[in-house]
Amino acid sequence: MTRGEEPDRRTAAGGAVLRLGLNGATIPGADLETGIGAARAGGFAAYEPRVPALLDCERRGTRDRALARLEASGLSWLPLNALEEVFEMAPRALAAHAHEIFSLAARFSIPQVIVVPGRPGRAVALETARATLSALVGQARDHGVSLCYELIGFPSHAFASLSAAVDLTTGLGIPLVLDTFHLAVSRTVSEALCALDPRAIGLVHLSDALTGRGRVEALTDADRVLPGEGGLPVGGLLGAILTSGYRGPVSVEVFHPRYGATDASSVARDACRSARDALTIAWQRAAQGPMRNKEDS
């Protein structure tokens, strides 16, 4: 990019525009302001903040400066990541923790918070979990924010399949966060993704993974790398999501430790480039229809 040029911050095909975002986990060494700057320099349209970075920003008294930098950059917020372990906490402790997270989001003018199920160590009844989420919806509304629910595909986590996550959230007004990594780990088939109501999806996390160590179910977050650097069927999974009609934001979220040892702006540029490449493949899969997605997933 030459001086004076602005990167194209949207990925389009057939008139449909996707908003690309960068998750703060992808650049773990960056504080909030640095992360926003790296996302802008990398060509992203949005930034997905994480709770520790916001708390650190407030401890240092730089919240107003960070918000001004976000506005000046032309970036928008993606949902705050995250309110975690919601099915592990006692109701009173969960309500107190949720108050802290929702208040934090409101102070930074972040409109949504991602809810993550965690590993309760016991079976959680569907109706109990739905009641927990319903209470959180009301509590979030009191703070002026709304919720998304992330499907975590690890077998030890609650509701670790797409069908279980859909059953859990249907009717509660909580869209899903679908992660290509967790879809692969949970062995989600493309037909199920193609058949989703796109309004049930609020955000897509984009990541690949190093797959040389055994079965996909044994993968961990530390195996997660940029799209195209691993062995997951990212193009097929993302293509199936696009086939459903989804045209919302896509955020790059990886955790491999090697990215923390690299300059944040450099990682962001690589992340944006790899995301665009993955989306190019995904649009091709979507154009070819569900059967091709099935073959490539």
Is residue 25 in some structural domain? yes
Structural domains in the chain (count): 1
How are the residues of the chain apportioned to helix, strand and coil, as percentages rounded to the nearest 5? 50, 15, 35
Q: Does residue 1 lie within any of the structural domains? A: no
pLDDT 10s digits, 198-229: 999 999 999 999 998 778 989 999 999 999 99
pLDDT at residue number 2: 37
Q: Is residue 10 part of a domain?
A: no
Residue 223 DSSP code: G
Nearest-angstrom CA–CA distance, 9 and 78: 14
Residue 11 lies in a domain: no
How far apart, in whole angstroms, are the C-alpha atoms of residue 39 and residue 262?
Answer: 14
Residue 4 lies in a domain: no
Task: Please report whether residue 5 resides in a domain.
Answer: no
Q: What is the pLDDT of residue 7?
A: 44
Does the residue 148 lie in any domain?
yes
Q: How far is CA 27 from the centre of its chain?
A: 14
Give 60-82 as a 3 state SS string: CCCHHHHHHHHHHHCCEECCEEE
pTM: 0.92
pLDDT along the chain (297 residues), means of 10: 43 60 97 98 98 98 98 97 95 97 98 94 92 98 98 95 98 97 97 97 98 88 97 96 96 96 96 96 85 52
Domain that holds residue 199: 16-296
| Predicted local confidence at residue 6, as pLDDT | 45
Task: Check residue 18 and give its pLDDT.
Answer: 87
3 within a domain of the structure (yes/no): no
- The pLDDT assigned to 17 comes to 56
- 136 Rama class: left (phi>0) / alpha (psi -120 to 50) / beta: alpha
What does the alpha-carbon distance between residue 252 and residue 271 come to, in Å, rounded to a whole number?
7
pLDDT at 292: 53
Where residue 118 sits, what CATH number does that domain have? 3.20.20.150
